[in-house]
Amino acid sequence: MRVVVFGANGPTGRLLTAQALAQGHQVVAVTRNPAAVRPRDGLAVASADIRDRDAVEEAVAGGQAVVSVAGVSYSSKPISTYSTGTANLIAAMSRHGLKRLVVASSAAIDPAYRPSDSFLFTRIVEPYFMRKPGRTLYEDTIRMESLVRASDVDWTIVRSAWLFDSDTVTDYRVSENFPGGMYAGRSDLAASMVAQLADDRYVRRTVGVHTVEGTPSLIRQIWREGIRKPQKQ
For the chain, strand residue ranges (E) read 2-6, 26-31, 43-47, 65-68, 100-106, 154-160, 162-164, 173-176, 183-185, 205-210
Q: What is the pLDDT of residue 131?
A: 64
pLDDT in tens, 160-183: 999 999 989 999 999 998 898 999
Domains of the chain with bracketed CATH = 2-227 (3.40.50.720)
Summarize the confidence of residues 180-204 as an average pLDDT.
Answer: 96
Residue type, 81: T
* pTM of this structure: 0.91
CA torsion 5→9→10→15, rounded to 10°? 70
What is the per-residue pLDDT for 22?
98
pLDDT value, residue 112: 82
pLDDT at 180: 87
Q: Are 57 and 229 in contact (CB under 8 A)?
A: no
pLDDT for 163: 94
Residue 150 in this model has a pLDDT that exceeds 80: yes
Closest C-alpha to 155, from 206, 111, 223, 211: 206
The per-residue pLDDT for 123 is: 62
**pLDDT at 95 (0 to 100):** 97
Across the beta sheet with 173-176, the strand order is 43-47, 26-31, 2-6, 65-68, 100-106, 154-160, 205-210, 173-176
Q: How many helices (H) and strands (E) does the chain have?
A: 7, 10
What is the chain's percent helix, strand, coil content, to nearest 5? Answer: 40, 20, 40
pLDDT per residue over 6-22, tens digit each? 999 999 999 999 999 99
Whether 154 and 180 have beta carbons less than 8 Å apart is answered as: no
Give the span between the Cα atoms of 156 and 201, in whole angstroms.
Answer: 10
Task: Please report, rounded to a whole number, the percentage of residues in the chain having pLDDT higher than 90.
Answer: 77
- Could you give the 3-state DSSP secondary structure of residue 100? strand
Give percent of the chain with pLDDT exceeding 70: 88
Tell how strand 154-160 and strand 100-106 pair up. parallel
Average pLDDT over residues 200-227: 85
